[in-house]
């Protein structure tokens, strides 16, 4: 785990899944703009005791370190001097899928976040897929397509059109 923190800051994401290194691609401008737009949307709707963080590490165990695009955590958890947050503090993990990450976001990350006990997982991939924990797994996702309002209540009330999150046509 400590070696992982020493890897270069080269724009790639270095994550651990069951001790195996997963190297994510350099983030594209459209990915970054979409993540920022969703972060602004969530930030504007969140209650005062929560915060929205981007690209923060979630340390699920000694052999599991995930870096979601966004997380929602209590402000108290974000005030820590630690470079990572605990999975029990994560109320929502969000991944914006791209060509190089879609399969990992669909399968590996959804299973990992559920196993870590993250109560809600959103995957934005041409539509917004909203997963809620059901026991140890996520149930079938609710899907919100571009042009329709996603009206959500967890982890707080927020409403937006997933199609309006990208600054690019």
Instruction: Report the candidate in 98, 148, 90, 104 with the shortest Cα–Cα distance to residue 125.
Output: 98
CB atoms within 10 A of CB 121: 25
- At 20 the pLDDT is 72
Exposure pattern of 23-38 as b/e (b: 16+ CB <10 Å)? Answer: ebeebeeebeebbebb
Any residues with CB less than 8 A from the CB of 16 and at least 6 apart, and which?
A: 1, 4, 22, 63, 64, 65
User: What's the mean pLDDT when you consider all of the chain?
Assistant: 86
| Rounded Cα–Cα distance for residues 79 and 102 (Å) | 31
Q: What is the pLDDT of residue 52?
A: 97
pLDDT at 16: 65
pLDDT category at 136 given cuts 50, 70, 90 is: confident
* Lowest mean pLDDT segment, chosen from 11-15, 52-56, 96-100, 130-134: 11-15
When mean pLDDT is compared across 15-19, 24-28, 114-118, the lowest value belongs to 15-19
Domains along the chain with CATH numbers: 27-164 (3.90.1570.10)
């Amino acid at each position: 785990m400590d070696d992982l923190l020493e890897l270069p800051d080269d724009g790639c994401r270095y994550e651990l899944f069951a001790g195996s290194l997963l190297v994510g691609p350099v983030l594209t401008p459209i990915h970054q703009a979409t993540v920022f737009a969703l972060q602004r949307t969530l930030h504007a709707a969140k209650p005062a005791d929560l915060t929205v963080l981007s690209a923060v590490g979630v340390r699920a165990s000694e052999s599991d370190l995930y870096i979601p695009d966004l997380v929602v955590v209590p402000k108290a958890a974000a005030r820590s001097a630690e470079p990572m947050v605990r999975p029990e503090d994560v109320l929502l993990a969000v991944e914006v899928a791209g060509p190089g990450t879609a399969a990992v976001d669909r399968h590996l990350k959804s299973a990992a976040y559920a196993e870590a006990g993250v109560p809600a997982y959103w995957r934005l991939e041409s539509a917004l897929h909203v997963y809620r924990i059901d026991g140890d797994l996520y149930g079938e996702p609710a899907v919100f397509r571009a042009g329709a309002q996603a009206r959500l209540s967890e982890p707080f009330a927020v409403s937006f059109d997933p199609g309006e999150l990208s600054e690019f046509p």
